[in-house]
Amino acid sequence: MTATVIDGKEFAARVRGQVAEHVDRLKADHGITPGLAVVLVGEDPASQVYVRSKGKMTVEVGMKSVEHRLEADTSEADLLALIDQLNKDAEIHGILVQLPLPKHLNEDLVINSIDPAKDVDGFHISNVGLLGTGQKSMVPCTPLGCLMMLRDHHGSISGMDAVVIGRSNIVGKPMAQLLLNDSATVTIAHSRTKDLAEIVRRADIVVAAVGRPEMVPGDWIKPGATVIDVGINRLDAPERGAGKTKLVGDVDYDSCAAVAGAITPVPGGVGPMTIACLLANTVTACCRANGLAEPE
């Protein structure tokens, strides 16, 4: 069997197209331009790349993009003051503080100082609680992107056995919650899980969010299962030339694709969906703030 490749790049382009159409309507019918503010503290190279592409795509779909780049030694008080200012800014509908923050800043305190209605990353404790109780919330972008791909591929995932490998607050836990809200039967695995291979072998849906290159081999996968690979790991690739690197996921793509029914590639799977969902969340936040109908 060769798995169907779930093309996240193409799917994300479709989502961004829908976002752009919604933005056009908000401008034309209501004179409103959704605005997204991204706050970056410090010079982490990977974060700089993410922030740049978020800003570029925000502008491409017709929204207002605001970037605040702060020095690595910015004080907590100054960062909180900026967030307070953005909370009060009527032209800003979404606020994202790029993680990780430098060590001297309290991440929980900072995230929980964002107005939950503008928390387009869905990390504020209120949004976590709303999601956990099945209420309307802001949903974290990466798991939301995974859910959209699963719904698109399967129609319904009700009753399916799902295993999420990883229990982080930003991916694993909200992913499990979303699968549960869609009536899958969910197992969450982590570094202390016993017999991981056996647990994964039972799953109709496997979501790998571990951060360990190619950890999941094909012989853990139930034939026909759907594999969603969240992992982004950069490895040296001397075969591509001196000093070259490549990105791989948390699953061993070739052996898993030989057994799975469907699989997301890395790159070009979950990654592009994350930014598309951030843009979609910003439009949702803007509609809610203005008492307008939300996108589907």
Residues tagged in the binding site annotation for NADP(+): 166-168, 232
Contact 2, 258 (CB under 8 A): yes
Active site residue 222: no
- Find the farthest-apart pair of alpha carbons in the chain and give their distance in angstroms, rounded: 56
* Sheet order of strands, 205-208 included: 4-5, 262-263, 226-229, 205-208, 161-165, 185-189
The residue (of 53 and 191) whose beta carbon lies closer to ligand NDP is: 191
Smaller CB separation from ligand NDP, 188 or 286: 188
Active-site residue identified among 54, 118, 173, 222: 54
User: Nearest to ligand NDP by Cβ — which residue?
Assistant: 168
Of residues 86-145, those binding ligand NDP (CB under 6 A): 142
CA-based nearest residue to 250, from 195, 171, 135: 171
For residue 50, give every residue at least 6 positions away whose Cβ sits within 8 Å of its Cβ, in sequence order, or none. Answer: 98
**Least CB distance from residue 48 to ligand NDP, whole Å?**
16
To the nearest whole angstrom, how small is the minimum distance from the Cβ of residue 71 to ligand NDP?
Answer: 25
Cβ-based nearer residue to ligand NDP, 26 or 210? 210
Which is the catalytic residue, given 115, 119, 121, 229?
Answer: 121
Half-sphere exposure of 158 (CA within 13 A, CB side): 2
Active site residue 54: yes
Q: How many residues bind ligand NDP (CB under 6 A)?
A: 25
Distances (CA, A) of 187 to 117, 197, 227, 259, 261: 30, 13, 15, 21, 20
Site residues (CB under 6 A) for ligand NDP, limited to 176-235: 189-193, 196, 209-212, 230-233
Neighbouring CB atoms inside 10 A of 92's CB total 22
Q: Catalytic: 173? A: no
Residue 171 per-residue DSSP state: T
Instruction: Rank residues 136 and 246 by Cβ distance to ligand NDP and give the closer one.
Output: 246
Expressed in percent and rounded to 5, the helix, strand and coil fractions of the chain are 45, 15, 40
**Binding range to ligand NDP, per CB under 6 A, among 76-84, 121-129, 270-278, 284-292:** 270-278
> Exactly one of 143, 166, 261, 265 binds ligand NDP (CB under 6 A); which one?
166
Apex 271 CA angle, 56 and 169, nearest 5: 110
What positions carry a catalytic annotation? Answer: 54, 98, 121
Instruction: Give me the residues that bind ligand NDP (CB under 6 A), please.
Output: 142, 165-168, 170-172, 189-193, 196, 209-212, 230-233, 270-271, 274
